[in-house]
Structure 1
Amino acid sequence: MCVGLLGRCGVAQSASVLEQYHWRFVGPDEGAQIQFATASADIVWRGSFQGWTDTRPTEMMSVSKSITAFAVMRTMQLRPADWHPDKLVNEFTVGAWSAFSNLALSGSSKKFNVTIGQLLMHTSGLPAIMTAVDLDAVRRQGLCFEPGKGWSYSIGHRLLGWLLRDYWQKSSVQAAFEELVYKPLGMSSTNFANWFTKFFFLAEAGDGGITSTAA
């Protein structure tokens, strides 16, 4: 919750220096009291969100990556023959996935395909294309390095969100997540953060922010 709120408010300090984190919900009037500090206990940020309660919907950045990973693992459990880490995503016949193949490697004539596991672990070689709205836009960008030979923050979880949507034949990534994660866990107040998706990713994604409650 706090990372999302602070991220949206533009806290300047790098996350790497925030070694200590303290959070305490006092009550409806006082709200949540939050403190970030370095490993040497130097206070980086301290504040409170008055009126915040554990049932108030709160926007959280990047949490959907974890939810996407849970949805992928749940699908692996339900459909192990179709879903496993070494499965090439272009082997899926749903949607346009069979055409998502022979991805060009930058600075080389070589071409590669990527696996579910590589998308999950940010080792696919795909770049972080924040405004990509479909598979073709991602395919045209190609690869930064040979899949499995490096690590770089990428668009992998967004692709997995789209793949889950297409595989389970749902109208949206949200609908796929509801069936695989939200409903089984009773997360009835969780959905994609509209402000984050609309203005940053330009498309519903498996790697954007969500809105949820602590209850």
Structure 2
Amino acid sequence: MSSTGLEGRAYPDGVARAVVGDLGDPRVVDRIVSTAMETFGGVNVPVHNAGVLDRLPAVADTDDDEWERVVRNDLTAPFLLTRAALPHMTAAGPGSIVFTASEASLRGSAAGAARTAAQHGAVGLTKSLAVMYRGHGIRTNAIAPGPAGSDIQPEACTKAHGPRVIGDRIGPAGKVAAAEERAAAIVFLASDAASDIDGAVLPVDHGWSAV
């Protein structure tokens, strides 16, 4: 059995390879790309879906460790992985890159200072890639999810300045997204159905961005 991806390329169904490591480590990133090349013969649709939350701190309450941890995971890691994949993608032809940003990439009231800055950076990286590599047939887009069912939750101190200011603004009322709803948006942006969409940020947030 096989499935058909971009430009009719066929891939075996149900084949996956795991590479365990720190995405902020260039050596791990190189191993991921080389594993993809060896297993599938190419890198066609990188999806940046790893990330961490901060504790919702304001700038004055953000220590160096939290800043470095969040920026490294949410911005530096996708930069490193994209940089490593691009030579293979530009050589192969059409492809699609999808970032998982967040509502923190669209506003200043959805996360603390570190995640807000990192996620805005991820959107900037998305748009830069869209401009720089559209001539190679590579589209780059992002989704901006709201709250979703996950065991990853911010460990905020409710008495701190940041959570006091934005705590009651986090998340729309009444709905928490399933992982499958995010995945469907990613698949759409990666697919040929979105062939004329490039440099876009798609909210997947049950209307949070409209409030």
Shorter-chain TM-score bucket reads under 0.3
Compare the two structures and name the one with the higher helix fraction. Answer: 2
Which protein has the larger Cα radius of gyration, Structure 1 or Structure 2? 1
TM-score, normalised by the number of residues in structure 2: 0.24
TM-score, normalised by the number of residues in structure 1: 0.24
